[in-house]
Amino acid sequence: MSGNVRLLSDTLAAAKEEGRSALIAYLPAGFPTVDGGIEAVKAAIEGGADVVEVGLPHSDPVLDGPVIQTADDIALRGGVRIADVMRTVREAHAATGAPILVMTYWNPIDRYGVERFTAELAEAGGAGCILPDLPVQESALWREHAEKHGLATVFVVAPSSKDERLAEITAAGNGFVYAASLMGVTGTRASVSSQAEDLVRRTRATTDTPVCVGLGVSNPAQAAEVARFADGVIVGSAFVKRMLDAPDDAAGVEAVRALAGELAKGVRGQV
């Protein structure tokens, strides 16, 4: 069965046709529970997110700040497994028709088996994977199986990436390029790094693939700011924090829905 890389590309293109950036939400699988995580992903899309990244909880998440680490810890203590991640993708995609990616570090895939992981993700209706710690020069095996199963391979670029390196990374990936707006970990911040716009400009000089910006976007005003120059606005910690701060799981799901609605206005310049 083929995955949904085409759906991802079409969704990003449709947002561009509307003259706006796409809104991409991140939520970890298994948080606060597997069922609760599925409801949160569906709520994000129903609230206004175009795409969702489902996080595969990891014990050593090098890119993630304290908010997402806390959620990952809750999910891991709850016994979340890769099968639960696939179930989250399957049920959220089936319910919404939206493109769902998995964001994961390389070690869990390597241990699970690349062929097995890509086949199962495609069967679940997944659109691809974001792989923040997989070096491009070591990615041939992954890309071979991802392409075979119709999955996007999204790599991360950073302000420190030299132009030559940007070209190497963007040539290897597809779906979109994840532009980390600053050197550091995920988290909500008072302002979006000024390095983000320059990184998008330099990345676009190497590729026609959409460039989406993450790390530090947490409110509609920041979403509107990034939407001026990026093809997509990625928000993670702000969604997770809303859930952590909610009095119960149901309230957390509604908080996700509400934030998605606020951010959807932001990417449309309606703030």
- Are residues 51 and 8 in contact, defined by beta-carbon separation less than 8 angstroms? yes
Identified catalytic residue from 53, 72, 84, 197? 53
User: What is each CA distance from 115 to 7, 89, 119, in whole angstroms?
Assistant: 22, 18, 6
Identified catalytic residue from 64, 72, 91, 225? 64
User: Does 198 qualify as catalytic in the annotation?
Assistant: no
Q: How many helices (H) and strands (E) does the chain have?
A: 12, 9
What is the Cα–Cα distance from 222 to 148, expressed in whole angstroms?
37
What is the Cα–Cα distance from 99 to 12, expressed in whole angstroms?
10
DSSP assignment letter at 188: B
User: Phi then psi for 53, rounded to 5 degrees?
Assistant: -95, 120
User: Does 64 qualify as catalytic in the annotation?
Assistant: yes
Give the DSSP H/E element, type plus range, for residue 202. helix 195-204
- Are residues 125 and 90 in contact, defined by beta-carbon separation less than 8 angstroms? yes
Which are the catalytic amino acids? 53, 64
